[in-house]
Amino acid sequence: MPLEEVLTVIPAFHPLWAKADPDLIAVCDQEAAHGNFRAWAKFTHHLATGLRGTGRTRVDEELLRWAYSKLSTRQPV
């Protein structure tokens, strides 16, 4: 998906993205998902696990870094 589509689709996809800053979504797309919906689903799963484990209610940079570490690669396909 192009970034413009990502910024529309991803906040509707999962509640943890619903109130996320669009700049944060753009960074996640560039660093981890690369416009790939399957990658977004996997990354969102890791973030949801991290949110539950830490008791946080919103995604932040520290949680993003943790979720990035769970991915096997951050290179575009």
pTM score: 0.84
9: Cβ contacts below 8 Å, ≥ 6 apart = 1, 37
Predicted pLDDT at 77: 46
Structure tokens that stand for 49 in this block? 């696990």
Instruction: Look at residue 42 and tell me if it is in a domain.
Output: yes
Instruction: Look at residue 20 and tell me if it is in a domain.
Output: yes
Predicted pLDDT at 61: 85
Structure tokens that stand for 32 in this block? 């981890």
Q: What digits encode the pLDDT tens for the residues 12-69? A: 999 999 989 999 999 999 999 999 999 999 999 999 999 999 999 889 889 998 999 9
Range of the domain at 16: 3-70
Q: What are the Cα distances from residue 29, in Å, to 7, 23, 53?
A: 9, 10, 23
In total, how many domains does the chain have?
1
52: Cβ contacts below 8 Å, ≥ 6 apart = none
Instruction: Look at residue 9 and tell me if it is in a domain.
Output: yes
Predicted pLDDT at 73: 57
Under the banding of pLDDT at 50, 70 and 90, the label for residue 75 is: low
